[in-house]
Structure 1
């Protein structure tokens, strides 16, 4: 059998016969070092897989302002006019109330240089007409009162006449009854005289006297009947006169009331005309103040949309674009619809602005360089035209302030930070295309600052 041992060459032989070939063979210690290094790398990789990783939602957008009043706006003229003078240049800083543009009038109804005086004259004429109408109304009211008094007096007189006629009718009726009674007595006496004459008790003269008396009593009856008819006719005429008086005065009062109503209507129209003239005077004063177009707030004139002198502009037409001087900056990020349920107001956001170099480790935001902090302020309730949802991000109070050189409209790339997960889980999620996960359902006010 072979003499196998752990020694490669006997030490004595090695010293006695130094073999160069054996000396050139590498020792096994280098291989052991390589193996140990690979094991160390494998252990380090396993440890790294269990390190925490911050999940995030990415989005792109632009720099904007948090409030609408800080966003670029167009300056419009309220009235139509002709450009007479420009008082600013593009890029110039203007203060609130500074003159931007002066225009002149182009409507013919405002060409009169003394339009204020003309309107004042119209107002005075209408006020005089209103005073005259008030006097007419007062006179008509006096006339109505006089008619009412006259009607009351005449009605009283006519009613008294009716009463008198009624009393006269009663008297004549009573007299007629008495006269008829006397006539009946005369008839009875004549019958007795006729019988007595036949019996020889009375003479023919007495009989003829009674006959004459009967004719006289009959004549009295006829006269009294006629008198009663006259009295009744007078009563009817008195009643008719009473009705005529009422109708006549009602007609006069109706006419007076109609005239008064017409005067009141004219007064209302005059008051309306006076209000229109006063409104016209105020409108002219306001319109004359609109010939000078002023800056609504402090800002920079970005671009003029009209040029030249003598150019006509319509009312409500944009003439220049103004960028507010110190806007409250914010960032609008657009994220996918599947990521919106994971985001709530107050979530931390890391931002990378165009023009500012940065090294971003999305899973380890603490080691990022060149990025800036923000927090979600607003999440739109509806999607935008591109199908994504817009987030408004404001600066984070506890982070570095955003660069002062930022301009509205600059591009931004952002990461909305979510929860911490192991690296191996994040790799597995990315390989399978799963959305980020949350440990618990987000609350609307989680992390938000008042």
Structure 2
């Protein structure tokens, strides 16, 4: 106060104050200082309390677009199936079509399909091949019957040949047995008959010798009797002997002479027997020769029987060879006919394929809607324009409500995202107010759930996730359903926040200032998850980054 007063007093006598007095005036204490200190203290305390106790939910944000979830329901190009000339358009852009509705007509310009009667001509060729097939089948049946008959005759001929072989072997066996018997007979003739004949000759010789001895003895007796008769006759004449002695001597002489004649007759008989014995021996030799001739004949018959067996076996072999050759020839002809039949069937199938191709080709001249939807773009206009196979004629958006959102998340945040995580979505054209840490106070956002997470990045260290509507939240009326495709069309931009765990506000600020990743509660890492988290390696051992095109990236 004293300083201020002196300053005022000092200023009354001069035009401007001194610099020293003005500085003192600037540093004088003010009465608002305590209030400011109190406010700052309360503010710091409130901020500290908020940082320590106010919860905030961590999020991972991503940007993407609206898509159709089902691959069959996504916008598709209607292409020309064949090269041709555009002759008619049946639709305009924005027209709703049903599955099977005709969109356009083409005129084929391929020279192979210009014949208007090509299908009829191909079918006539098929009918001709059918007749040819019937003839081939008839020929196969005839040759099959011939082969059956030839097989039956072959079996009969082989049976007869086998019977002839058995008969020839029986004759051979009988001839061999006859040969053995003949040889035995010859041996007997040689061994027994010849010995018997020799024995008879020797006996006859003995009888001749005995007869000769008996004849000599009889002659000696006759001579003695004659001498005795002469002496007795002299003595009888002289009367020295009686008549009886004379008669007895006469009788002795007659008897001795008779014995001589008998001995001579016996000798003649013995000699005749000797002659007959020689004849018997000759007959025995003849019988032996006959037996040897029979043996030779039996040998010849055995040889003939053996030749008959060989001829019968040869005939059977010849029959087998001839009939087998004929049967094989018929079988080859049948197989050839079957090959012709198979070729005919193949030609018929080719004709069927050609007919189907022609019919299908003509069907491809008519461009039809593959499913229900709306024509959004016609790329070829004017009749007479030539198009190639694969050229896009129009674009069809199928009628579906199966929408989803694909978001791109960087590689720093993608490990924290898992399937089933809740997502808050903001669509372009729908006003929204989103508080990242407090989704409950967000306005204009829609609920979703993570359905798919790509296993690889898009080549720029970003990963795609697909978010579908959270059906559970929508069914419980906790969130509004997503807009329909008539208002929310595929390709519309979308922003998403994947909701993670709830943490204190101070921790979240500290994490963001230090660029730490969010925290999530995870189950223990298993072997399967470890394998899934391993980076893909290429041949050189470097991390492989397959390229997945995404709208807005190059």
1:106 to 86, 105, 109: 109
Name the structure with the higher helix share. 2
Is residue 189–residue 287 contact of structure 2 (8 Å, CA) maintained in 1? Answer: no
Structure 1 stretch displaced more, 215-224 or 422-431: 215-224
State TM-score, norm by structure 1. 0.78
2:461 equivalent in structure 1: 387
Partner in structure 2 of residue 433 of structure 1: 515
Alpha-carbon spacing, 1:182–1:158, altered in 2? closer, same or farther (3 Å): farther
* Cα offsets for 1:385-431 (capped at 9, x unmatched): 22111121223423233445322222222222223333222222222
- Alpha-carbon distance in structure 1 between the residues aligned to 2:129 and 2:171: 62
Once the two structures are superposed, the pairs formed by residues 370-449 of structure 1 within 5 Å of their partners are 370-396=444-470, 397=474, 398-404=478-484, 405-438=487-520, 440-441=521-522
Q: Secondary structure at the match of 2:500?
A: strand
Write the distance in 2 (CA, Å) between the matches of 1:360 and 1:213.
Answer: 146
Indicate the residue corresponding to 1:21 in structure 2.
none
Paired with 1:341 and 1:254, the residues of 2 have a C-alpha distance of 77
| In structure 2, C-alpha distance between the alignment counterparts of 1:139 and 1:172, rounded to whole Å | 48
Partner of 1:202: 274
Superposition deviation, residue 46 in structure 1: 3.8
Secondary structure, aligned partner of 1:359: coil
Superposed CA offset, 1:91-130 (max 9, x none) = 4333322222211223333222222222222222222222
1:335-366: CA deviations, max 9, x gaps?
12221232233333233333444433322333
Indicate which of 130, 146, 150 corresponds to 1:143.
146
The unaligned stretches of length 5 or more in structure 2 are 1-29, 209-270, 526-554
2:136 counterpart of 1:55 = no
Query: Within the alignment, does 1:81 sit opposite 2:155 as a pair?
Result: no
Q: Which has the larger radius of gyration?
A: 2
Matched residue, 2:127: 124
SS in 1 for 2:274: coil
Distance between the aligned counterparts of 1:115 and 1:332, measured in 2?
51
Partner of 1:7: none
Counterparts of 1:31-70 in structure 2, within 5 Å, are 37-49=39-51, 50-70=53-73
SS in 2 for 1:230: helix
- In the superposition, relative to structure 1, how do residues 217 and 186 fare at CA in structure 2: closer, same or farther (>3 Å)? farther
Give the Cα–Cα distance (whole angstroms) in 1 for the partners of residues 164 and 481 of structure 2. Answer: 108
Identify the residue that residue 320 of structure 1 maps to in structure 2: 394
* 48-57 vs 177-186, greater mean Cα deviation: 177-186
TM superposition score normalised by structure 2: 0.65
Equivalent residue runs for 1:178-257 within 5 Å: 178=182, 180=186, 184=190, 202-203=274-275, 206=279, 210=283, 222-257=296-331
Deviation at 1:150, TM superposition (A): 1.5
Q: Distance in 2 between matches of 1:325 and 1:354?
A: 22
2: distance between equivalents of 1:74 and 1:384?
24
> What is the CA deviation profile of residues 428-447 of structure 1, one whole-angstrom value per residue up to 9, with x for unaligned ones?
22222222223x32799xxx
Matches of 2:503 and 2:468, distance apart in 1 = 26
Over 3 Å counting, the alpha-carbon distance change for 1:418 and 1:168 in structure 2 is closer
**Between 311-320 and 112-121, the greater mean CA deviation after superposition:** 311-320
